[in-house]
Amino acid sequence: MIEITLKDGSTKKYKKGISAYSIAKDISESLARNVLSANFNGTKIELSTEILKSGELNFYTWNDDEGKLAFWHSSAHILAQTVLSLYPKVKLTIGPSIENGFYYDFDLGDQTISENDFPLIEKKFMFFASQKSEFRMKLLSKLDAQAFYKKEKNPYKLELIENLNDGEITFCDHSDFSDLCKGGHIPHTGLVKAIKLTNIAGAYWKGDENNKQLTRIYGISFPKQKFLKEYLTLLEEANKRDHRKIGKELNLFTFSNKVGLGLPLWLPKGTDLKNRLQSFLKKAQDKAGYKMVETPHIGKKELYETSGHFEKYGMDSFQPIETPRKKETFLLKPMNCPHHCEIYNSQNWSYKDLPVRYAEFGTVYRYEQSGELHGLTRVRGFTQDDAHIFCTPDQLEREFIKVIDLVTYVFKAVSFDVFTVQVSLRDPNNPEKYIGSERNWNLSEKAILMAADSKKLDYNIKYGEAAFYGPKLDFMVKDALGRKWQLGTIQVDYNLPVRFDLKYKTKNNEYMRPVMIHRAPFGSLERFVAILLEHSGGNLPLWLVPDHLIILTLSEKYEKYAQKVLNKLKINEIRALIDNRSETVGKKIREAQLKKYPYMLVVGEREMKDNVVSVRHRIDGDLGTLTIETFVKILSTEIKKSNLIQV
């Protein structure tokens, strides 16, 4: 007898082996119609897989990430089939699902594909999809697999197979198409009801610039036409909110090829914005017991060899800097942690001194592939809102709670109200992968979960996702368009304290290693500003906005009065400027709307005579005439209200 336990805890019993799909059907017809993938005893399986023993079975639909991934992974197979049928000389490489859809990398040889070809490819794709071909896995011997791709003259697949073990090489077939694949498919192609190819770009084989450049085609597919329509509307809205576009409109930042790709240049208004974010965070951190530190942008190579970062980033990053005389080698800082460890090591610590919390707005440099660079979200130099906490194992849970409080507080202040949390723990089947004692891991995993529970966080646990040096908790925010972004992270580290020989003296005069926590609520200020701009569509909270208002003169005659108004505003810390061009006030208002100033003050003859201003709100429109003092009072209160830190 096989006993199958389902997600809700209920069980099903079967006399003999049965496929996952048949079990879905046994549960309900609607589940059978909607199921996209399954997981048995923690391992991804095909729905056609015959289950022969008792265990836990989870089904996934379009509503689950796992379901979407199987859907998009399967769609990549259909795309490969389609492109191969239209361009028979193409060489297939790899095609994974990604966060929003999938891609496939092709070696097109001397052929080319452009966006103009997308409609034709999409049409053929839907033709293949509509054939309802089943996805079937098959096991091939290494020799047979190699023979298959030798016949196809495909060096890429041969290279992949070279690194696989005989007996573990599987292919997925559908219709008359076959591709090397590890598995994870939907039952059949007919479930794909809509496709949109979204982009085409160059991509190097295995991401290595020394390798051949391939053509990457991106797409996204859906189980209903309606979902595609919704997605396209969302995309249109997202394009309007593109932070690169808003950043330009608001004069926040720029890039220059002369300075270098991926190195943001902050303009005055952007710098002010960044500084406001930093001082907001600094105040919050001061209250939470952090001390600010500052460390240089470079460090000796040995420092990063000690920390292990050289091994991790060295080869793929900016290359070392050699000094002119003495043979000393430096690296641009890829992480702030090693520097903070050395600050910790600059004095002796007793258990009474802990926890120690060092915070720094530290700029770090990482060499991202040029194809990966994107506005402020993927850059080569960025400022982390970094901090490291050194504490005793017993203090871990309390420190975690404090960090969670800080992060959620920060999110609230910028109205990121919807966020989820992922807790990454060890893979229980592979304990040897991790550094640090069993006891410490148990302690820290328990501490994280207790902290997340006590803060009533909506979290899910991912086993096996922890770094080798410690478990972590990541915050994912959903922006106004429902897109998920990874922001803040809190990570326990048992590795660096060993590598840097960090210690403190216990009550019994023994030396112990402190536990280290890395944390960054925003992650990087660049990325955070980008997400903030896209989330708010450029309508930033009043406490952050570059300028609260613009004063519009009815004609140049009123410049002096406008200046007088401006001075009064400035004394009250209201950020404002004057538009005194000889344009109509109608045009000035329209432009001010586009620049997203929350308020506009119109001044002319009447306002000057009565010592008042005519107030317009960007969204609410005309608010009538007010004395300057009254307006200042109203706006100041509003600004304060928008900034929780001042309440």
Pattern 423-452, Zn ion, x by CB under 5 A: ------------------------------
d(CA 267, CA 8): 54
Distance separating alpha carbons of residues 550 and 534, to the nearest angstrom? 23
Which range in 136-144, 168-176, 293-301, 557-565 contacts Zn ion by CB under 5 A? 168-176
Q: Which is nearer to Zn ion, 513 or 518 (CB)?
A: 518
| Binding of Zn ion by 216 (CB under 5 A) | no
172 binds Zn ion (CB under 5 A): yes
Instruction: Report in angstroms how near the CB of residue 317 gets to Zn ion at its nearest.
Output: 16
Interface size with Zn ion, residues (CB under 5 A): 4
**DSSP three-state, residue 220:** strand
Restricting to residues 335-394, which ones interact with Zn ion according to CB under 5 A? 337
Choose, from 73, 174, 339, 366, the residue flagged as catalytic. Answer: 366
Q: Cβ distance 1 to 15 under 8 Å?
A: yes
Contact present, 485 and 330 (Cβ < 8 Å): no
Task: Return the H-helix or E-strand segment holding 197.
Answer: strand 194-204
174 included as an active-site residue: no
Question: Looking at beta carbons only, is 517 or 576 nearer to Zn ion?
Answer: 517
> CB of residue 192 vs Zn ion: minimum separation in angstroms?
14
Nearest to Zn ion of 70, 551 (CB atom): 70
Closest distance between Zn ion and the C-beta of residue 363, in Å? 14
> Coil, strand or helix: which one is 81?
helix
List the interface residues with Zn ion, window 173-192 (CB under 5 A). Answer: 181
| Pairing of β 612-617 and β 599-603 | antiparallel
Nearer to Zn ion, 14 or 148 (CB): 148
68 is catalytic: no
Contact yes or no for 95/105 (Cβ under 8 A): yes
Residue among 472, 513, 588, 596 flagged as catalytic: 472
Catalytic residue (one of 81, 384, 395, 491): 384
Is 518 an active-site residue? yes
Find tokens 């809509």 and name the residue.
Answer: 194
d(CA 54, CA 11): 10
At its nearest, how many Å lie between Zn ion and the CB of residue 73? 5
Which of the following is catalytic: 309, 388, 527, 616? 388
Active site residue 386: yes
For residue 483, give every residue at least 6 positions away whose Cβ sits within 8 Å of its Cβ, in sequence order, or none.
238, 534
Cα–Cα distance between 18 and 271 in angstroms, integer? 62
Chain position carrying tokens 């708010």:
536
Question: Which amino acid, one-letter code, is at 458?
Answer: D
Q: Which of 107, 386, 479, 579 is catalytic?
A: 386
Annotation says 548 is catalytic: no
The CB-of-517 to Zn ion minimum distance in angstroms stands at 9
Among residues 497, 487, 489, 485, which one has the least CA distance to residue 466?
Answer: 489
Least Å distance between CB 470 and Zn ion?
11
319 is catalytic: no
Nearest alpha carbon to residue 397 among 313, 453, 329, 324: 453
Which string of x and - marks every residue 492-521 that binds Zn ion (by CB under 5 A)? --------------------------x---
Nearest distance in Å: CB 182, Zn ion: 7
181/601 with CB nearer Zn ion: 181
Catalytic-labelled residue, pool 243, 333, 380, 518: 518
How far apart, in Å, do the first and last CA atoms of the chain sit? Answer: 64
273: nearest Cα among 246, 293, 242, 255: 246
Nearest Cα to 475, choosing from 462, 490, 497? 490
Has 366 been annotated as catalytic? Answer: yes
Residues forming contacts to Zn ion in the complex (CB under 5 A) are 172, 181, 337, 518
Q: Which residues are catalytic?
A: 337, 366, 384, 386, 388, 472, 518
